[in-house]
Chain A
Amino acid sequence: MMPAAKELRYIWVILLIFFGALLANTFAVLIVDPQKVFGLFDVNRRNFEPNTRFLKAAYLLDHPEFDSFVLVSSRANAYSVVAAQEFAGGRFYNFTVGGDTPLGMLRKVEWLASHRRINRLVVSFSYDDFIYTDAEQNQYLTIEHPLISHSSWWSFWKPYLFGPYAHPLTMAQTLYGNFVKKDDWYTFDVRTGQYDFPLFRRQMADDPTAYVENRFHTPAILEKFPKEDSLKHLDTLVQLARTKGIDLVVLINPDNHRTFLSFRPDAYRSWLSNVVRIAGGVWDFSGLNSVTRSDEGYFEQRHFSEAIGNEALARIYAPNSALAQRHPDFGKPVTPENLAARLDALNRDWIDQGGRIMQLARKTNGE
């Protein structure tokens, strides 16, 4: 044997194990494709959340018929495109994505406006959508389509080929969710841009009390505050909408009382004032009203269902409909003129109701 032969064999074995494992894993990722970003095989159909940002943008590229959009974070998934079309007309697409920020929203609108006519935009925010930067939210799950982020395809695909979603455990989770698990806890329909939680819906209907006890908890007081940049991004969006002649509705989400009461009152009032000033007027469904005080229609303390989302849409676009009349105290148009009164009302909510509702919430949460 040559003097270096055993060293050569040693090196070859290591390289074969390392690059063999890397190659095998890469093939598996391309086949299982948990995030559905490669599109070679359609393995992940349920129970494992794909990159909906990418899928929605890719779908819209082939569907120029959509002219109206619902935007921002996962909470806005509850605004059904069917209801929006019924109340407002047009072809709506729900372009909301988990963890989206005002910057993400702006990028999406800029991209949409660059290649199609937009008639209507429903932009729905919560206070806490403004506290995270895009970088903080930029998980592998939420990497934008390269056409929106203006990044290269390689930098887009790389985390899916070699990052946490290329991990064998992630692929095992995907396969388990699709082929072993019987209940559907998550489904996604790219044609509407909306996802659903059938299992939670059933649990909610079967035993609402147990559901609330199991799924809801009291969030701690939020000590993070809105970012100045996020307000600037909203401002840019409003200017863009005006320039392009888009019918823009800015809507403050009907956050469950637990979430609403976890916000710092002063910071919340200041944020709302800024949003109203920038947008010129908003539909405010936040605060304590007959919808948000109840837990009915909420998946947990942060996400609400279409029952609530559609009622909000009805209040905006079809005020005379039966759905819009169900809760007269649900949602108010707030303009710079009536802002002070609205802030006073919110303040009263915190002072009068806050303690009592937080006590109830704690009781529900078993604290």
Chain B
Amino acid sequence: MLFNSIDFIAFFLPVSLLGFFLVARTLGRRAACLWLIGLSLAFSAWWRVDNFYFLLLSIAANWVFVSALRSARRNGSRLGLWIFVFAVCANVTALAFFKYADLFAGMIHSTFDSTFIFEHVLLPLGISFYTFQNIALLADVHSGEADDLSFYDYCLFIAFFPKLIAGPIVHYSDLVPQFAKEETYRFNAVSFAAGITLLIVGLFKKVVIADGLLLPWTQPFFNEVHAGAPLGLIDAWAGGILFSLQLYFDFSAYSEMAVGIGLMFGVSMSFNFVSPFKAASAVEFWQRWHKTLTDFLTDYVFTPLTVFIGRRRMVQGKSLVRKDRASVGAFFWMIVVPIMVTMILAGMWHGAGLQFVGYGVLLGLYLVINRGFRILRARFGLRELPAWSGPASVLMTFLSVVTALTVLRSPDIMTALSLFQSQLGLNGFGKIIVLRDWTTVTTAAALLAWCWFAPNVQEWIGLTKEPAASRLESWGSRLAWRSNIGWSFVMGTLAVYSLSRLSDPTAFIYFNF
């Protein structure tokens, strides 16, 4: 079921919220948890019942792993490490099977010219996200941080429907303790008001901006790309920028709706996007874009790998990276290798195909260049940069990201390379498909201005921990959200307008990953 469907907004969500608070009040917390678990499983089955079966299988298998790990820990057995390795491998293998089965089947088919008919393997909805959450949980259980986890808590942690399909990827310690609190089961008007606002803003961003405005412009661009037509310089950039905006408005909308729905239940989750296009470097971009994936990859891939390499280098008496100082060897082994491994994995997580590896490589290169530049700046004493370098860095980071996201959206690596050539101007100016009229240009400019200069939704609502007030003050405090009558009318109208555009809901782009 899509968040941007009438089924969800007018029926599923109101029923699940009403039921949750009523059940909690009349039958108690455990019953309310069961209600949420049941609804979440129904939510997964709504689209295809296979999603439900696979989610159940994943829950059952991982609960066995969790129980076995805990048992091994209690007995002080060294078997725990092997169980942990096996459990992680099982999760990764299942994810890899669903992501890569089609690709490998196609390769076998073409290499051996086989006559077997390979059935298309459908990716279970949300598997990329709940597999990562399972791995994170297994790591926590292995290190003894989740000893008090009950089966109900575990089911809710994995299946909680607002974040089931496309995140945010939450940590056990972020979510489960909230369900242990008494106040979560009592209706909280403050949290609900913020949640419903986020839901409506997200719905508007998805339905009106991503699908209504941007999709009709990016579609002809990618149709040309699919047809193999070499694009001109202007179109390659215009299409890339419009797609980057579409992806941002689409995915951030989903994430905001997910966080908003969570808040309506009294549960807070991390925001996935923090004005990513305001980033002035590749490192900063990753702290702002799909943040929960970055956090996961940092915690469970990058940091352990860097620590592992660092320890080995220390044992061998070799130099390490210290702040912004590094020898060539240390830079390669402790920065280039962990970054490239992490980013290639991040790319491959998005799907099967060399274009996804290319996406990871490109992002990894940006990060390596960024870190290298910092070290060079430190070495040559370039502490102070001219005033124009700030906006220039934001622009350069944005254009680099546009290139990478265009690669991500390309149907294959050859098309990605062709698009890259076009963006370098090697295919000339060509005919203009995307920027056909001034409406497209002005709308794209307005959306870019929104992304660059306006506060993000969490700042606007006041859900951020950082002191964002200064930005809001300069923006005009009257425009900051308050739970007053004026804003309720604005939000109600936005909701009704979005509803009128709901006629043909389209899936969120990130459901494909």
Q: Which residues of A contact B (CB under 8 A)?
A: 3-4, 6-11, 13-14, 16-19, 21-22, 158, 162-164, 166-168
In-complex Cβ contact of A168 among B485, B491, B495, B500 (8 A): B500
Q: In the docked arrangement, what's the CA distance between A6 and B485, Å?
A: 8
Q: In the docked arrangement, what's the CA distance between A164 and B493, Å?
A: 19
Task: Give the contact-size bracket for chain B.
Answer: 20 to 34
Q: In the docked arrangement, what's the CA distance between A3 and B500, Å?
A: 34
**Are A162 and B483 in contact, with the CB atoms below 8 A?**
no
Closest to B493 in A: A17
Q: In the docked arrangement, what's the CA distance between A164 and B503, Å?
A: 5
Closest to A168 in B: B500
Nearest Cβ on chain B to A314's Cβ, whole angstroms: 44
**Are B499 and A164 in contact, with the CB atoms below 8 A?**
no
**Are B190 and A16 in contact, with the CB atoms below 8 A?**
no
**Are A13 and B489 in contact, with the CB atoms below 8 A?**
yes
Jot down 15 A-B pairs with beta carbons below 8 A, ordered by A. Answer: A3-B190, A7-B190, A7-B192, A9-B488, A10-B483, A11-B189, A11-B488, A14-B200, A19-B10, A22-B496, A22-B499, A158-B6, A162-B10, A162-B503, A167-B500
Nearest Cβ on chain B to A160's Cβ, whole angstroms: 11
**Are B487 and A162 in contact, with the CB atoms below 8 A?**
no
B193 in the interface, Cβ–Cβ < 8 Å? yes
Q: In the docked arrangement, what's the CA distance between A335 and B10, Å?
A: 57
Q: In the docked arrangement, what's the CA distance between A11 and B188, Å?
A: 11
Q: Which chain B residues lie closer than 8 Å to A4 at the CB level?
A: 188-190
Q: In the docked arrangement, what's the CA distance between A130 and B200, Å?
A: 43
Q: In the docked arrangement, what's the CA distance between A8 and B192, Å?
A: 9
**Are B193 and A10 in contact, with the CB atoms below 8 A?**
yes
Q: Which chain A residues lie closer than 8 Å to B496 at the CB level?
A: 17-18, 21-22
- The A/B interface has a contact count, at CB < 8 Å, of 66
Nearest Cβ on chain A to B406's Cβ, whole angstroms: 27
B223 in the interface, Cβ–Cβ < 8 Å? no
**Are A14 and B196 in contact, with the CB atoms below 8 A?**
yes
Other A-B contacts than A11-B196, A13-B492, 6 sampled, CB-CB below 8 A, are A4-B190, A6-B484, A10-B484, A13-B488, A22-B10, A158-B7
Residue-wise, chain B 176-217 has the 8 Å CB interface mask toward A (1 for contact) of 000000000000111011001000100000000000000000
Q: In the docked arrangement, what's the CA distance between A7 and B495, Å?
A: 17
Q: Known A18-B499, A162-B10; judge A13-B485 contact (CB<8 A).
A: yes
Nearest Cβ on chain A to B160's Cβ, whole angstroms: 22
Q: Which chain B residues lie closer than 8 Å to A163 at the CB level?
A: 503-504
Closest to A8 in B: B189
Q: In the docked arrangement, what's the CA distance between A323 and B188, Å?
A: 79
Q: Which chain B residues lie closer than 8 Å to A16 at the CB level?
A: 492
**Are B503 and A167 in contact, with the CB atoms below 8 A?**
yes
Q: In the docked arrangement, what's the CA distance between A9 and B489, Å?
A: 11
Among B10, B489, B493, find the residue whose CB has the most chain A CB atoms closer than 10 A.
B10
Q: In the docked arrangement, what's the CA distance between A240 and B117, Å?
A: 30
**Are B503 and A11 in contact, with the CB atoms below 8 A?**
no
Residue-wise, chain B 475-495 has the 8 Å CB interface mask toward A (1 for contact) of 000000001110111011101
Q: Known A4-B190, A14-B491, A14-B492; judge A9-B485 contact (CB<8 A).
A: yes
Nearest Cβ on chain A to B252's Cβ, whole angstroms: 21
B502 in the interface, Cβ–Cβ < 8 Å? yes
Nearest Cβ on chain A to B202's Cβ, whole angstroms: 14
Q: Which chain B residues lie closer than 8 Å to A6 at the CB level?
A: 483-484
Nearest Cβ on chain B to A323's Cβ, whole angstroms: 45
Nearest Cβ on chain B to A86's Cβ, whole angstroms: 44
Q: Which chain A residues lie closer than 8 Å to B10 at the CB level?
A: 19, 22, 162
Nearest Cβ on chain A to B199's Cβ, whole angstroms: 10
Q: Which chain A residues lie closer than 8 Å to B499 at the CB level?
A: 18, 21-22
Q: In the docked arrangement, what's the CA distance between A7 and B482, Å?
A: 9
Nearest Cβ on chain B to A34's Cβ, whole angstroms: 13
> Which 5 A/B pairs are nearest by Cβ-Cβ distance?
A17-B492, A13-B488, A4-B189, A7-B189, A10-B483
Nearest Cβ on chain A to B140's Cβ, whole angstroms: 35
Q: In the docked arrangement, what's the CA distance between A129 and B435, Å?
A: 35
**Are A7 and B6 in contact, with the CB atoms below 8 A?**
no
Closest to A18 in B: B495
Q: In the docked arrangement, what's the CA distance between A72 and B484, Å?
A: 57
Q: Which chain B residues lie closer than 8 Å to A17 at the CB level?
A: 488-489, 492-493, 495-496
Nearest Cβ on chain A to B301's Cβ, whole angstroms: 41
**Are A10 and B485 in contact, with the CB atoms below 8 A?**
yes
In-complex Cβ contact of B487 among A8, A10, A21, A168 (8 A): A10
Q: In the docked arrangement, what's the CA distance between A10 and B200, Å?
A: 13
**Are B500 and A14 in contact, with the CB atoms below 8 A?**
no
Q: Which chain A residues lie closer than 8 Å to B485 at the CB level?
A: 9-10, 13
Nearest Cβ on chain B to A152's Cβ, whole angstroms: 13
Q: Which chain B residues lie closer than 8 Å to A22 at the CB level?
A: 10, 496, 499
Q: Which chain B residues lie closer than 8 Å to A166 at the CB level?
A: 503
Q: Which chain B residues lie closer than 8 Å to A13 at the CB level?
A: 485, 488-489, 492
Q: Which chain A residues lie closer than 8 Å to B484 at the CB level?
A: 6, 10
Nearest Cβ on chain A to B229's Cβ, whole angstroms: 15
Q: In the docked arrangement, what's the CA distance between A305 and B103, Å?
A: 51
Q: Which chain B residues lie closer than 8 Å to A14 at the CB level?
A: 196, 200, 488, 491-492, 495
Q: Which chain A residues lie closer than 8 Å to B500 at the CB level?
A: 167-168
Nearest Cβ on chain B to A124's Cβ, whole angstroms: 31
Q: Which chain A residues lie closer than 8 Å to B504 at the CB level?
A: 163-164
Q: Known A6-B484, A22-B10, A162-B502; judge A11-B492 contact (CB<8 A).
A: no
Closest to B487 in A: A10
Nearest Cβ on chain B to A21's Cβ, whole angstroms: 4
